Homo-oligomer: A and B are copies of this chain.
Amino acid sequence: MAMEMEEIKSNSSSRIHGDDILPHIHHKVASPPKQTLFQDIKHTFNETFFSDDPFGKFKNQTVSRKFVLGLQSVFPIFDWGRGYNLKSFKGDLIAGLTIASLCIPQDIAYAKLAHLEPTYGLYTSFVAPLVYAFMGSSRDIAIGPVAVVSLLLGTLLSDEISDTKSHEYLRLAFTATFFAGITQMALGLLRLGFLIDFLSHAAIVGFMGGAAITIALQQLKGLLGIKDFTTKTDIISVMKSVFSAAHHGAKKNKKLFWVAAISPMICVIVSTFCVYITRADQKGVAIVRHIKRGVNPASASDIYFSGNYLSAGIRIGVIAAVAIGRTFAAMKDYSIDGNREMVALGTMNVIGSMTSCYVATGSFSRSAVNYMAGCKTAVSNIVMSIVLLLTLLLITPLFKYTPNAVLASIIIAAVLNLIDIKAAILLWKIDKFDFLACMGAFFGVVFHSVEIGLLIAVAISFAKILLQVTRPRTVVLGKLSGTTVYRNILQYPKAEQIPGMLIVRVDSAIYFSNSNYIKDRILKWLTDEEILRTSSEYPSIQYLIVEMSPVTDIDTSGIHAFEDLLKSLKKRDVQLLLANPGPIVIEKLHASKISDLIGEDKIFLTVGDAVATFGPKGANL
């Protein structure tokens, strides 16, 4: 009769207790096939840097095919471009026109957040999307300046050079953009994109929310500054409320997204026209005033490659690259290769820095509109870019009369979408520590600065990792009645402990950072249990079973901790039994000869085995 059972004997000591009627199948704790040092290093290296196997598709291909695949992998446009047709173009054209109409007013407004002239926003939305269209692999993402990065850049740059109208300020902006690009390219090419994972999702939610509030408050001040001009203000506040109502509508009803997408443009056109007709600028309404016509001038010679501002440029660039990288990762499609995208974004910013652009990345709001407007490929970015080109060449001077207040309202409407209260509530529900990180970043940004917010976010994220590696969980296991399944007695209060035995599971690799803690914690479980059991009629504990299944690895500190544990247990007359050590662990136990100290006959395949061998008669039934 084929029976379902866990009654496997390690080829160990003779069977002392147990039910001899059942047939026994002998399985012993196996050592894995030996690996050479080179294989070992190669495996670790591949898992660390090439876990996504980017070269897998190159295997077993001819040289010319490899070349084509290589070209396609650097420029995905050669891949999807071959199958491109008129139907796709129709979708892309509409989407491209939509995001262009959304991005023009946003660009002008965002450039002001970075303390740059409006033209630089438009420049950025002309060059960056073109580069991305060739190298990027996402079809939805709309490229251009974004509010948070513009604010971050503006803060960092003006800390260095307070005169934001000076040529040095502009040069430093290009320098920072250049080094942001270089940083992104380096991270991508060295396949270190995973490093940005260290900024947790929670931290980013808080950081973005804080930045949004800061920007909104800043802009609100601008809006309130013109309250003397009642008629104008009314027009603006009406437009603003219409606009934000439309935005909310768009959220509830996807068909209304059009309203949200084009309302900023309509606001700009209507208000500009009003100001032009009524000459309100002469009555004190602040307007854009200066705006140059023409395409991007070259700016490669403006980048600081030496001098005092070089290090400042590098520092700001690296900070911006980290912020971009993480926000981009949060929005990217899950099938995208993060490292390749980093290279694309980096190239885009390097080229941008040489053509009078400042830092660009994927925009949350415009990407959503792009998707909803039915974009099929990155061609929508090309369409947007062409519209921007025409705008720069033909109609830029018309924006001269655009009132600043309407730009402020556009910014407010855009950034309020970055405040993700739902996400914050979810964080609270799921993980209090995440919520703390989120709030830390949020208040850091709101009450101090974007840099401090970013710093707090990184610090809390790291603290969480440190906590994870220094204080892993250990649990006491008990037996579920009528089975040989051993489970956490806190989760399964009905699980029964075995008389004379304590079963502890260690839920982490044992490394220098936690080895002492784990050893102390196991001893504390033992002490606590002994106190508990002396008051009852249970026999005292003679065996400590450590369930090692989750212990993926152990290092020299861990081995030393086990030696110490053995010594302490000897003093207490308790024997150590191990259950199910993994392949790496069993190898290291052998290499360090500690398996001899423990005794090969004390290492079992399962907890059930250990209980059957050393436990009271019938305990494992």
Where the two chains meet, the residues of A that have a C-beta atom closer than 8 Å to any C-beta of B are: 2-8, 19, 22, 25, 27, 30-33, 37, 40-41, 44, 47-48, 51-53, 194, 197-198, 200-202, 329, 334-335, 338, 423, 426-427, 429-434, 461, 464-473, 480-485, 487-488, 490-493, 507-509, 511-517, 519-521, 524, 549-550, 552-553, 555-557, 559-560, 564, 567-568, 580, 582-583, 586, 588, 591-592, 605-606, 608, 620-621
Give the residue of B481, B482, B484, B524 whose beta carbon is less than 8 angstroms from that of A53: B524
Known contacts A197-B512, A491-B32, A555-B200; A524/B430 CB under 8 A: no
| B residues near A608, Cβ cutoff 8 Å | 4
Residue among A202, A470, A564, A588 having the largest count of chain B Cβ atoms under 10 Å = A470
| B residues near A552, Cβ cutoff 8 Å | 472-473, 507-508, 550
B2 in contact with A520 (CB, 8 Å): no
B469 in contact with A465 (CB, 8 Å): yes
4 closest cross-chain pairs (CB), A and B: A550-B550, A200-B512, A491-B583, A25-B482
Give the residue of B335, B555, B568, B586 whose beta carbon is less than 8 angstroms from that of A433: B555
Report the bound CA distance from A591 to B483 in whole Å: 30
Shortest beta-carbon distance, A474 to chain B, in Å?
Answer: 10
Residue among A3, A466, A591 having the largest count of chain B Cβ atoms under 10 Å = A3
Give the residue of B485, B515, B557 whose beta carbon is less than 8 angstroms from that of A8: B485
Shortest beta-carbon distance, A517 to chain B, in Å?
Answer: 6
| B residues near A329, Cβ cutoff 8 Å | 516
Report the bound CA distance from A334 to B334 in whole Å: 48
| B residues near A582, Cβ cutoff 8 Å | 488, 491, 507
Known contacts A4-B620, A468-B511; A32/B200 CB under 8 A: no
Shortest beta-carbon distance, A498 to chain B, in Å?
Answer: 14
Shortest beta-carbon distance, A592 to chain B, in Å?
Answer: 5
Known contacts A47-B471, A201-B512; A483/B6 CB under 8 A: yes
Shortest beta-carbon distance, A213 to chain B, in Å?
Answer: 21
Residue among A8, A40, A481, A483 having the largest count of chain B Cβ atoms under 10 Å = A483
Report the bound CA distance from A560 to B427 in whole Å: 11
Known contacts A194-B517, A202-B512, A517-B51; A2/B483 CB under 8 A: no
| Count of identical protomers in the assembly | 2
Give the residue of B37, B557, B583 whose beta carbon is less than 8 angstroms from that of A201: B557
Shortest beta-carbon distance, A110 to chain B, in Å?
Answer: 28
Known contacts A512-B197, A512-B200; A334/B465 CB under 8 A: no
Shortest beta-carbon distance, A561 to chain B, in Å?
Answer: 9
Report the bound CA distance from A482 to B471 in whole Å: 38
A555 in contact with B202 (CB, 8 Å): yes
Report the bound CA distance from A478 to B129 in whole Å: 48
| B residues near A515, Cβ cutoff 8 Å | 197
B432 in contact with A41 (CB, 8 Å): yes
Give the residue of B484, B492, B521, B567 whose beta carbon is less than 8 angstroms from that of A51: B521
Give the residue of B31, B194, B591 whose beta carbon is less than 8 angstroms from that of A430: B591
B512 in contact with A591 (CB, 8 Å): no
Known contacts A32-B490, A32-B491, A483-B25; A555/B434 CB under 8 A: yes
Known pairs A4-B6, A197-B515, A485-B606; list 11 more (Cβ under 8 Å). Answer: A3-B3, A4-B484, A5-B6, A8-B480, A32-B490, A198-B512, A200-B511, A431-B555, A461-B513, A468-B511, A485-B605
Shortest beta-carbon distance, A529 to chain B, in Å?
Answer: 14
| B residues near A48, Cβ cutoff 8 Å | 467, 470-471
B507 in contact with A430 (CB, 8 Å): no
| B residues near A335, Cβ cutoff 8 Å | 568
Would you list 8 pairs from A and B whose C-beta atoms are within 8 A, ordered by A residue?
A: A3-B3, A25-B480, A27-B485, A27-B492, A200-B557, A469-B469, A508-B509, A549-B549
| B residues near A198, Cβ cutoff 8 Å | 466, 512-513
Question: Which residue of chain B is the closest to A612 with respect to CB atoms?
Answer: B4
A3 in contact with B5 (CB, 8 Å): yes
Give the residue of B40, B51, B492 whose beta carbon is less than 8 angstroms from that of A524: B51
| B residues near A549, Cβ cutoff 8 Å | 549-550
B5 in contact with A5 (CB, 8 Å): yes
